[in-house]
Structure 1
């Protein structure tokens, strides 16, 4: 196995005690916050497998709430994140699930407010690294470690090529891309991880394409 840096071996700068149960959980929460675009008013967090058995002792609960408050993995406020969330008017509940999942460190995060809600499933794969594997019912693979855009679109011929062409015209290199759809010809989701941040002008160009319904940017 090849490592890009020493941090891939020793793990991230973080509030402990565990890179997978604490730092990974914080990043899952922070990706949910980024996709939602604002601080939620409520959060229902379901833990599966090892997360469900050890989340209190390993600080998985305070870490994931810290992520929802937009705290980074090394932010000292993570230790008191549940109290901070309550003070900010965020209602938080935790559910220990018995269902068996493909990965032992799995969390389902459902957040919302009066404007809408969002549901995602994330897994912590070790060393602080994560993958988002489901978003609002769409299967996907999002690392949360690179700039990315998520594009909800009608499942029509040429939609994927049109988005790719805009990125290529601005010399944006795609590191990973996949498309998920619930049914043929209905809604679909493009997940595109890139090598550099995408400015708002490019996002606007993508939004104006035919069959594009929503574009969400994640900044690394």
Structure 2
């Protein structure tokens, strides 16, 4: 019996042969898709370190595209993600970068549709776990393994407190929270990991708060 790829042997429950290079890569792609909030027209994957050297043999390329399409690691379609991408008209490219990253399993993902573009940097730290290190130029630390919301807001007094108060009112517990800004008094990004998925009513309430520009979420 012939196998076309390692996915045919390992199966879709846990992408192999390396959880770092495949399951982790799929998770990074999925987080990027969730934050972009729609299916992109194109995707560019800038691969660094070990990712750049072994992405074809370890199925990192297949996993990244599958994640961008919204497939989780247990999705049967993950094994044929290139086929599904072609059917949907998704244009994708892989760029092997020579720069040495801080972590060997690093990818910079750029997604676009029309005038909307998202840029995200993620690392795969082993066992299928990931960290998102940068989003649209904002430094952050997001595990991608827990429900979370990202709040783009004006860097103004009371903005953070208003969001935290609203979550408390809706009985949502904060597990981890951090704020990143490029310049004082300008745009800032709040990253909040929570204990449960945020419902649509709470999302709406957050978007209506003063100084809040946009709220997106990822879920486990």
TM-score, scaled to structure 2 = 0.92
In structure 2, stretches of 5+ residues that fail to align are 1-11
C-alpha contact 1:132 1:143 (8 A) present in aligned 2: yes
Q: CA deviation at 1:200?
A: 1.2
Counterpart in the other structure of 1:118:
118
> In the TM superposition, what whole-angstrom CA distance separates every residue of 1:138-162 from its partner, at most 9, and x where no partner exists?
0111111111110000001110001
Counterpart in the other structure of 1:167:
167
Counterpart in the other structure of 1:219:
219
Larger deviation: 57-66 or 199-208? 199-208
Q: CA deviation at 1:17?
A: 1.2
CA RMSD of aligned residues (A): 1.2
Counterpart in the other structure of 1:37:
37
Counterpart in the other structure of 1:138:
138
Q: Secondary structure at the match of 1:81?
A: helix
Counterpart in the other structure of 1:73:
73
Q: Secondary structure at the match of 2:35?
A: helix
The runs of at least 4 consecutive aligned structure 1 residues that moved more than 6 Å come to none
- Separation in 2 of the partners of 1:34 and 1:131? 15
Larger deviation: 159-168 or 197-206? 197-206
Q: CA deviation at 1:115?
A: 4.5
C-alpha contact 2:13 2:75 (8 A) present in aligned 1: no
Q: CA deviation at 1:45?
A: 0.4
> In the TM superposition, what whole-angstrom CA distance separates every residue of 1:161-201 from its partner, at most 9, and x where no partner exists?
01000111111110000000000111000000000111111
In structure 1, stretches of 5+ residues that fail to align are 1-11
Counterpart in the other structure of 2:106:
106
Q: Secondary structure at the match of 1:95?
A: strand
Counterpart in the other structure of 1:189:
189
Q: Secondary structure at the match of 1:140?
A: strand
- Separation in 2 of the partners of 1:72 and 1:146? 14
Q: CA deviation at 1:46?
A: 0.5
C-alpha contact 2:41 2:113 (8 A) present in aligned 1: yes
> In the TM superposition, what whole-angstrom CA distance separates every residue of 1:57-76 from its partner, at most 9, and x where no partner exists?
10000000000111111223
The correspondence of residues 193-212 of structure 1 with structure 2, limited to 5 A, is 193-212=193-212
C-alpha contact 1:15 1:75 (8 A) present in aligned 2: no
Q: CA deviation at 1:117?
A: 1.2
